[in-house]
Structure 1
Amino acid sequence: MNKAELIDAVASATNFSKADASRAVDAVVDSISSALGDGQQVSVVGFGTFSVKHRAARSGRNPRTGEAIQIAASNVPGFKAGKALRNAVN
């Protein structure tokens, strides 16, 4: 399912217009992105938890040349599925 299909599903489930559903989906994604950008955790009961994880600096290899390179530390988004989501998938 891509974003357009998600918007269609939200529109049909809520009787919103596609424009309203699009704004709702965009608002949810923007809110989660903003909270993660501030270093906060977002928990949606039954769905899962979005969090920010720190990835430490490490050494790696350039696959083209085989040269050793240093990869900088970074923050990456993480997601842990909730119990209801895990049960829905299985």
Structure 2
Amino acid sequence: MTRSDLVTLLADRFPQLTQRDTEFAVKTILDAMSDALARGHRIEIRGFGSFSISRRPPRMGRNPRSGEQVQIPEKLAPHFKPGKALRESVDANLPVKD
């Protein structure tokens, strides 16, 4: 599902909101989540999951062309951990293998 799919779905589900209002609400929520993660905060949405920042330590890598060793700096990356309700609902909808 893309952002525009989400906006369309919400606008259809809540007819009192215009497409423009729905788009603004989705953008505001996603911006607030991005800002919180950028500041190092953790986001928890009950029944859905939590977002946090994971630290990737510095390491040595290789340049694939020359084979030369390269120092790769530390990185911070967003991490999503699904909640129990989300895991169970996804697991319940698994296709049956023949």
Q: Name the TM-score class by shorter chain.
A: over 0.9
SS of match in other structure, 2:67: coil
TM-score by length of 2: 0.85
Indicate the residue corresponding to 1:29 in structure 2: 30
Indicate the residue corresponding to 1:57 in structure 2: 58
Indicate the residue corresponding to 1:69 in structure 2: 70
Q: In the aligned structure 2, how far is the partner of 1:63 from the partner of 1:7? A: 42
1:5-44 matches, within 5 Å, as 5-15=5-15, 16-44=17-45
Indicate the residue corresponding to 2:81 in structure 1: 80
TM-score by length of 1: 0.92
Percent of aligned pairs sharing the same letter: 40
Where does structure 1 differ by over 6 angstroms across 4 or more consecutive aligned residues? none
Question: In the comparison of the two structures, how many residue pairs are matched?
Answer: 90
